[in-house]
Structure 1
Amino acid sequence: MPLPLVHHPAFDALFDEAHRFPMRKFTRLAEILVEDGLVPRGFHEPAPAPVEALELAHDPAYVEAVLTQRVSPTIEKAIGFPVDARVALRSRCATGGTLLAARLALDTGLACNTAGGSHHASRTGGAGFSVFNDVAVAAAALLHEGTLGRVLVFDCDVHQGDGTARIFAGDPLVYTLSMHGERNYPQEKAQSDCDVPLPDGMEDEAYCALLPDLLQHALTQARPDIVFYNAGVDPHRDDRLGRLSLSDDGLAERDRRIIGFFRDRFIPVAGVIGGGYSRDIETLARRHTILHRVAAEFV
């Protein structure tokens, strides 16, 4: 059985190529996965996340503002782009994609979205290219309906998962772990259940050496029924916004160790792609496929 992969054409909100957020990577990522034979039965296409699910992680007033394209200029500035109709649809579909990936993971053990990881969005608004916090919405929705009892968010994007940490602060059912650049965005960090600040320039060996103890710690503390894994590729040495120095092989080894650890223990894993910032869309999209290629090794 092939790895369940989730994609929707609306993941690409068709930004101008000069925009600092590399929106075209979502289309090219999906194309590469098809070209390379990783989607023999087609993608699972999500429905846009329902309003009631969005409101489990976000203030209803903010959800309405996004859906009616009335987000305040202050929040749009924090997000980094205007929230027009295409962005609103993209955000709902990407969030629906992570929710669908989680449901597929619960059924099959492992599934990945071709978007997701918008972890800077908090309860009251978006930030850092994040409109809705897809992982937080998916986790909250599954907990609300009683599908599962405990969640681990294992976030390896180079930027702290501050929005996720704030949404679930004090929630005993969701354990948030963030491995991130100590000196990177956001300037004002939140408090995750476990924060692992990393020095600039960290390379593959030093990074991966941290994983065994962290994985065991997360397992012991979270006792999860599912893991949401944010496989951001912005720790890469060539990323414009990263400040770390991982290679393609280092990212693959990171993904392999994390996914393998939880699958060896029969814990479902839902993967999201997280951040990655490069003007070279082809290289960036291929870098994001590392998650999907490594995940396919475990099915």
Structure 2
Amino acid sequence: MLKIAYHPIYKHPLPEGHRFPMEKYELLPKQLLHEGTCDKNNFFEPGFPEEDYILFAHEKDYFERLKALKLDRKEIRKSGFPLSQELVERELIIADGTIKSCHYALEYGIAMNIAGGTHHAYTNSAEAFCLLNDQAIGARYLQNQKLAKQILIVDLDVHQGNGTAEIFQNDPSVFTFSMHGKGNYPFKKESSDLDIELEDGTSDDAYLNKLKSVLPNLIEEVQPDFIFYLCGVDILETDKLGRLSCTISGCKERDKFVLQTCHELGIPVECSMGGGYSKDIRLIIEAHANTYRLAQDIYF
């Protein structure tokens, strides 16, 4: 059974005019239920993780100041969010959703988190809507619990996973792969184990050809026993924050290729949704919903 982490706090309200589309976290599960892709049994509600799990990926001083709402003005501005207790709770619950999804992925082959993909969070700082790095926490959790030894993070958000790259920069047991827009934020990028930078305007054929030429060989080289997939839909041409030119069908083909590859090789995969900032919320929901439709078709 496809298991999906969702909590009402995912749609935490932000000040009017804030550019981060929080409503997608409420609309996506409603769409999946409405069309029959999922039923209520597919969803589970995460809670708060043990704080030691957070410290697998984040420095204690940063985490303590975050919990106490004592980040300074510059740190808060860099996070992109107005800091609040509810926001911190939201980040913790997202992390727990990814941790629990790891267990479901081990059981069923795949599991998903409606939120997550907070790949700009560093060991000791927040950045660009990311306060805690859910997939980094999940990867370290799996290793600490001796549930995985070699992990591959496949980050196909339009923005480089700079925080993830920093967290694992000296850890050969977690291979970080980021394929992203060269001209996109962050403008000062970190070094992942493998970075593929795409030119502005890259469209479906060029995008998919590059991915299909790289991923199977990478898996063969890394030999992961668990994969994290960050499946942001901000690669769309309509995305306000992206600079690539992929279509809905190209984005769907990307997800199909990644999920089929994981399924055929028998490697468990946890999917976190990542970015999506098209002006038309219907495009965001359709692109994200395709990932869940494919998971059901391929695995179940």
What is the SS of the residue equivalent to 1:187?
coil
Moved more, 63-72 or 103-112: 63-72
8 Å CA contact retained: 2:239, 2:279: no
For residue 220 of structure 1, report the CA deviation from its aligned partner.
2.3
Equivalent in the alignment of 1:296: 296
1:91 matches 2:91: yes
Aligned equivalents of 2:51, 2:135: Cα separation in 1:
15
Equivalent in the alignment of 1:49: 49
The code of the aligned residue for 1:199 comes to E
Equivalent in the alignment of 1:39: 38
Q: How many residues of Structure 1 are paired with residues of Structure 2 in the alignment?
A: 298
1:184 matches 2:184: yes
Equivalent in the alignment of 1:7: 6
What is the SS of the residue equivalent to 2:112?
strand
**Identity between Structure 1 and Structure 2 (%):** 36
TM-score by length of 1: 0.96
Runs of 5+ in structure 1 lacking a partner?
none
8 Å CA contact retained: 1:203, 1:244: yes
Equivalent in the alignment of 1:148: 148
For residue 72 of structure 1, report the CA deviation from its aligned partner.
1.8
For residue 217 of structure 1, report the CA deviation from its aligned partner.
2.7
Equivalent in the alignment of 2:68: 68
8 Å CA contact retained: 1:259, 1:295: yes
Residue by residue over 1:95-136, the C-alpha shift from the partner in whole angstroms, topping out at 9 and shown as x without a partner, is: 111111111101110111101101000001110110100000
Aligned equivalents of 1:16, 1:29: Cα separation in 2:
21
Residue by residue over 1:129-171, the C-alpha shift from the partner in whole angstroms, topping out at 9 and shown as x without a partner, is: 1010000001011111211111100000000001000000020
8 Å CA contact retained: 1:28, 1:282: no
Equivalent in the alignment of 2:201: 201
Residues 103-118 of structure 1 mapped to structure 2, 5 A cutoff: 103-118=103-118
What is the SS of the residue equivalent to 1:236?
coil
For residue 37 of structure 1, report the CA deviation from its aligned partner.
1.6
* Closer, same or farther: CA 148–275 of 1 in aligned 2, 3 Å: same
8 Å CA contact retained: 2:252, 2:287: no
8 Å CA contact retained: 1:175, 1:221: no
For residue 74 of structure 1, report the CA deviation from its aligned partner.
1.3
Aligned equivalents of 1:91, 1:279: Cα separation in 2:
25
1:257 matches 2:257: yes
The code of the aligned residue for 2:57 comes to A
The code of the aligned residue for 1:283 comes to L
Aligned equivalents of 2:155, 2:81: Cα separation in 1:
24
The code of the aligned residue for 1:70 comes to K
8 Å CA contact retained: 1:164, 1:176: yes
* Closer, same or farther: CA 212–42 of 1 in aligned 2, 3 Å: closer
8 Å CA contact retained: 2:234, 2:278: no
What is the SS of the residue equivalent to 2:56?
helix
Aligned equivalents of 1:91, 1:189: Cα separation in 2:
23
What is the SS of the residue equivalent to 1:56?
coil
8 Å CA contact retained: 1:174, 1:222: no
What is the SS of the residue equivalent to 1:63?
helix
Cα-Cα RMSD: 1.2
